Amino acid sequence: MEDDNEVIEVPEAPPPPPPIDPALVTEAEAAKDEANKNFKAKHFAAAIEGYTRAISLNPNNAIYWSNRAAAHIKLENYGAAVADAEKATELDPKYIKGYYRRGDAHFALGKYKLALKDLRTAAKVAPRDPDLRKKLAECEKEVKRLRFEEALAVPESEAISVLATLDLSMYDNIEESYTGPRMQGNPTDGYVITEEFVEAMLEEFRQQKTIHKRFAFEIIRQAHTLFRSLPSLVDVTIPDDKHFTVCGDVHGQYFDLLNIWKINGKPSPDNPYLFNGDFVDRGSFSCEVIFALLAFKLLHPEHMHLTRGNHESKSMNKVYGFDGEVKAKYNGSMVDCFRELFCALPLAYCLNGRVLVLHGGLFSQDGVTLEEIRKTNRFREPPEDGVMCDALWADPSPVPGRTPSKRGVGLSFGADVTRTFLDANGLDLVVRSHEVKEEGYEVEHEGRLITVFSAPNYCDQMGNKGAFVRFNGNDMVPHFTTFSAVPHPDVKPMAYANSFLMGM
Catalytic residues: 311
Nearest to 489 by CA among 208, 262, 265: 208
The SS3 of residue 106 is helix
Q: Coil, helix or strand for 121?
A: helix
CA dihedral 164→170→174→177, nearest 10 degrees, is -130
Cα–Cα nearest to 103, from 140, 145, 149, 64: 140
The 10 Å Cβ neighbour count of residue 491 is 12
Integer-rounded Cα Rg, in Å, for the chain is 24
First to last CA, the chain: 27
DSSP-derived pairing of the beta strands 348-351 and 355-358: antiparallel
- d(CA 233, CA 368) in angstroms, rounded, equals 13
Please count the CA atoms within 13 angstroms of the CA of 349 that sit on its side-chain side. Answer: 27
51 contacts 80 by C-beta, under 8 angstroms: no
Among 436, 433, 459, smallest CA distance to 285 is for 459
Contact 298, 226 (CB under 8 A): yes
d(CA 128, CA 124): 9
Beta-carbon count within 10 A of 264 CB: 17
Contact (Cβ atoms closer than 8 angstroms) between residue 434 and residue 312 = no
Q: How many residues does the chain have?
A: 504
Calpha distance 481→471 (Å, rounded):
11
Single-letter code of the amino acid located at 123: A
